Structure 1
Amino acid sequence: RPLILSKSSVLEMSVESGHGAVSLTIDGQLAYSLETGHKVIVKTADHHVNLIRFSDSSFFDVLRQKLHLGRWPKIGM
């Protein structure tokens, strides 16, 4: 499920024993294999980055698209 957090939030996840290897996918693009004892911490970076915008879509347009808001869920997939 998608999560929306404040920029001050820190999200910490770890792989517990008995679950085997786990795949972590970031924004549907990159996949990493995690094993028991691995920990992932997600927080706001100390650096700023300027991004290029190629469309007229706003942040909220992209968010609606990624969260599938306003669309009927696909059944049976």
Structure 2
Amino acid sequence: MEDCNDAIKIRQELIRLNSRKASLHEESLELFNEARAALLRLVALHSQYELACKSSDPLINNEYKQFIESMMGKYLLKKDNVS
């Protein structure tokens, strides 16, 4: 009888853990999509910034462009790895 109770407790714990896993996965996808949307807004703002700063210091523009490109590579290109 005790083995049966242990098996039931183990099944209940597995169900609880699977539910938690699903919930965490859903939350991670939501956070990823929010981060991706924010990055897309940043890219759009960067385009506006580039237009406004065409006559600005080329070194500053290059550093900013490298930063944006690294962020795009980090978040936009990893979409396939999340799902």
TM-score greater than 0.5 by the shorter chain: no
Question: What is the TM-score normalised by the length of structure 1?
Answer: 0.23
Structure having the higher Rg? 2
Higher strand share: 1
Question: What is the TM-score normalised by the length of structure 2?
Answer: 0.22
Relative contact order, CA 8 A, sep 6+: which one is greater? 2
Higher helix share: 2
